[in-house]
Amino acid sequence: MIDLRSDTVTRPSPGMRRAMAEAEVGDDVFGDDPTVRRLEALVAERLGKQAAVFVTSGTQSNLCALLAHCGRGDEYIAGDSAHTYCYEGGGGAVLGGIQPQPVRMLNDGLPDPDHIAAVIKPDDPHFARTKLLCLENTKDGVPQSIERMREAIDVGREAGLALHLDGARMWNAVVALRADAAEFVAPFDTVSMCLSKGLGAPAGSVLSGSRELIAEARKWRKMLGGGLRQVGVLAAAGLYALDNNIERLADDHDRAERMAAGLGAIPGVTVTSLATNMVFIDIVGACAALQSRLESFGLLALVSSSPARLATHLDVSDDDIGVVIDAFGRALSA
Ligand SMILES: *Cc1c(COP(=O)(O)O)cnc(C)c1O
């Protein structure tokens, strides 16, 4: 099956599995796992941060960051369709007593700087204490340049807020923009990145930042049940991903572009967004039956409603793109 549902569906490659099998391990709660320590050091170095902590998921990473930055009665600002705000179970509020303050997002996923300025609270007993501004990059595949992020960052900094980047797919942005990774994340106090999306590892995210914030995040990770033992087997997959699977994200982006061009030429299909490894399409007659028809042609895609998101990734080859376009053409002409 060709699986376009997400870039999280990749399976570890033979090379990655070898690296996992050969990983040196130890009890990471004691700080004894050399592979985890190597991964954390490598991410910190590549991102120009003092420290990093390996966590189970992007959700845990963002939550550890929220808890490290904010206390009970504090507030964080995030875009109104940001992952941290919408898709993480309200963890900051549930577990940290942290109030989310959503702000409208502009088309590329940047929280509207004017709206940020308008919701930052003054020091007044009526209000939660605004502490943190969260950005997300890429958002729905769309990369925001450093200059673009600055428009929001400057507003936050001006007001003395801390800054967190939900960079689950930050490497897609770095590759697409040909940016320097450390420069890209330099304005942020903490940065979360996923190993388990476009980079192709089976699990794991890494949170990086100052020594102090990461020490705090590490404490929260333990409380959240994320203190793992011989987890170097997973860190080895992350190291392999960082060494082998970053530059090749450009292939996923090229394939998304080819896929968008092919699908856009099919009557009834309109490409509404194409950026990095994500293609969004409107389909006339999107329905569950269409999804089943595609499945019968060997294609997994969430097309029961519009717009549908299609993601390219490590396990979608050049040849697959032709198969995908052909399958859509046949499914929609049936
Ligand atoms: C996937 C994702 C997360 C959460 O990662 P999980 O590993 O699924 O918990 C956070 N933020 C963004 C932008 C994501 O795409």
Note the pLDDT of residue 264.
97
> For residues 129 and 121, is the Cβ–Cβ distance under 8 A?
yes
Alpha helices, DSSP H, located in the chain: 14-21, 34-47, 58-69, 83-86, 91-96, 113-119, 146-158, 170-176, 181-185, 211-223, 232-244, 249-264, 288-296, 318-333
Banded model confidence at residue 10, pLDDT cuts 50, 70, 90: very high
Please name the residue that has the structure tokens 């099919």.
266
Pocket test for ligand 1, best of 87, 195, 199, 221 (most atoms within 8 A of CB): 87
Instruction: Provide the CATH number for the domain around residue 325.
Output: 3.90.1150.10
Residue 164 Cβ inside 6 Å of ligand 1? The answer reads no
> What's the structural domain count of the chain?
2
The dihedral built from the CA positions of residue 70, 144, 246 and 41, taken in this order, carries a sign that is negative
The answer as to whether 5 is a domain residue is: no
Compute, in angstroms, the gap from residue 199 CA to the centroid of ligand 1: 13
Compute, in angstroms, the gap from residue 83 CA to the centroid of ligand 1: 7
Residue 136 Cβ inside 6 Å of ligand 1? The answer reads yes
Residue 286 predicted with pLDDT over 80 = yes
Task: Write the pLDDT tens digit of every residue in 228-273.
Answer: 999 999 999 999 999 999 999 999 999 999 999 999 999 999 999 9
Kindly state the percentage of the chain with pLDDT values over 70: 100
89: left (phi over 0), alpha (psi -120 to 50) or beta: left
Residue 58 Cβ inside 6 Å of ligand 1? The answer reads yes
Note the pLDDT of residue 45.
98
CA distance 248 to 264: 25
Note the pLDDT of residue 132.
98
What residue owns the CA closest to ligand 1's atom 4?
Answer: 58
Residue 168 Cβ inside 6 Å of ligand 1? The answer reads yes
The answer as to whether 42 is a domain residue is: yes
Query: Are residue 135 and residue 153 in the same domain, yes or no?
Result: yes
Task: Write the pLDDT tens digit of every residue in 156-215.
Answer: 999 999 999 999 999 999 999 999 999 999 999 999 999 999 999 999 999 999 999 999
Q: At what angle do helices 232-244 and 14-21 cross, to 10 degrees?
A: 140
Residue 59 Cβ inside 6 Å of ligand 1? The answer reads yes
Compute, in angstroms, the gap from residue 213 CA to the centroid of ligand 1: 20
Query: Are residue 154 and residue 292 in the same domain, yes or no?
Result: no
Note the pLDDT of residue 287.
87
The answer as to whether 200 is a domain residue is: yes
Banded model confidence at residue 135, pLDDT cuts 50, 70, 90: very high
Query: Are residue 50 and residue 197 in the same domain, yes or no?
Result: yes
Query: Are residue 108 and residue 181 in the same domain, yes or no?
Result: yes
CA distance 236 to 258: 33
Reduce the DSSP state of residue 132 to 3 states and report it. Answer: strand
Number of H helices and number of E strands within the chain? 14, 12
Task: Write the pLDDT tens digit of every residue in 117-128.
Answer: 999 999 999 999
Residue 194 Cβ inside 6 Å of ligand 1? The answer reads yes
Note the pLDDT of residue 158.
97
Q: pTM for the complete prediction?
A: 0.97
Q: Which residue range(s) make up the domain with 291?
A: 248-333
How high is the mean pLDDT of the chain?
97
Instruction: Provide the CATH number for the domain around residue 59.
Output: 3.40.640.10
Pairing of strands 299-300, 2-3: parallel
Residue 286 Cβ inside 6 Å of ligand 1? The answer reads no
Q: Which of 212, 244, 276 lies at the terminal end of a domain, its last residue?
A: 244
CA distance 297 to 232: 39
